Amino acid sequence: MKHIEFIIFDIDGTILPGNGTLPKSMLTILNNLIKKGIKIGFATGRNYNFGGEVAEQIEGDCYLGFNNGSVIVKYPEKKVLIENSIPSQVIEDVRIHFEERNISCLVNSVISENEKTYIFNSPPSNAAVLDFAKNIDKDKQVINNINELNTKALACLYASIPSKIIHSEYEFIKNKYPDLTFTLVADPIFDGFHWLGFMPSNTGKQNLLHYVSEHLDIPIKNIMAAGDDYNDQQILKEAGIGIAMGTSPDEVKESADIQIGSAEDKAMEKFLLESFF
């Protein structure tokens, strides 16, 4: 691994176990990688506030590609390097579609407008999901339509969809909005739900890979990426070395060069210690 100059980590399910807390042992390893001259970044489906909780713990420069790479921020200065958005009217059309189906949505405003997370629709069937969302982000507000927001564009939208209808909804939405990018991830907390993410066009975690290669002058062959879900598949394909967690879907494992164990077993910590120290 001597040729690796930069490592991009997915957060949940890769360096964070199910309890959502970054272990001190992993934080120590990440900071020691920086001391060795290896740069690091995080590519996550989390929003700016929630993803930033991890990036802010790093002792040195790091990069955060959140909302699945639609926005890239450099830490610790929190400098926005790239920011893409979706027209608010598209978001409103999607909100109406899901309201008719009794499905809840979360939407993030763009970071340049002091990003906040808003909740659309509140059907009783999704009460547990909504309560969870409110608890992890106290700034979340419940709104009824896009006109309540003083913004012309939004960073992304997530719909919490029952797993039994996720594939039919996904196919319908994907065909209706061919210019958007979509992510599909099983809810890590509540069984029976999937999150369908709506992102600006040309969005993907691989955006951070391309930015790092171009602006830091690091060949892609010298960049390693690690992840565990469908939204990691493309970056694992493109990176010089792709690492898939043992809990990854088969298609994601097939896109990687190396497979390791689970975050619960601290497999990434063990891999990094064996490979770089």
Span 37-43, average pLDDT: 97
Question: Is the pLDDT at 37 greater than 90, yes or no?
Answer: yes
- Give me the CATH number covering residue 146: 3.30.1240.10
Q: What is the pLDDT of residues 233-242, one digit of tens each?
A: 999 999 999 9
- Asked if residue 1 is part of any domain, the answer here is no
Grouping H, G, I as helix, E, B as strand and the rest as coil, residue 185 is strand
Provide the residue range defining the domain that includes 58: 6-83+203-276
| Structural domain count, the chain | 2
- Tokens for 25? 């042992």
Domain end residue (candidates: 145, 164, 199): 199
Please tell me whether residues 170 and 229 are part of one structural domain. Answer: no
The mean pLDDT of 172-187, rounded to a whole number, is 86
Predicted confidence at residue 141, as pLDDT, reads 59
Q: How many residues does the chain have?
A: 277
From residue 34, how far is each of 62, 185, 206 by CA, in Å?
Answer: 9, 30, 21
How would residue 153 be classed by pLDDT, with cut points 50, 70 and 90?
A: low
Whether residue 93 sits in one domain with residue 59: no
More confident of the two residues 159 and 34: 34
171 in the same domain as 103: yes
Helix, strand, coil distribution of the chain in percent, nearest 5: 35, 25, 35
CA distance 3 to 222: 6
- Which residues sit opposite 181 in a β-bridge? 199
CA-based angle 80:85:86, to the nearest 5? 170
Same domain assignment for residues 95 and 193: yes
Helices (H) and strands (E) in the chain, counts: 9, 15
Band of the pLDDT at 90, cuts 50, 70, 90?
Answer: confident
End-of-domain residue from the set 155, 180, 199: 199
Lowest mean pLDDT among 40-44, 75-79, 259-263: 75-79
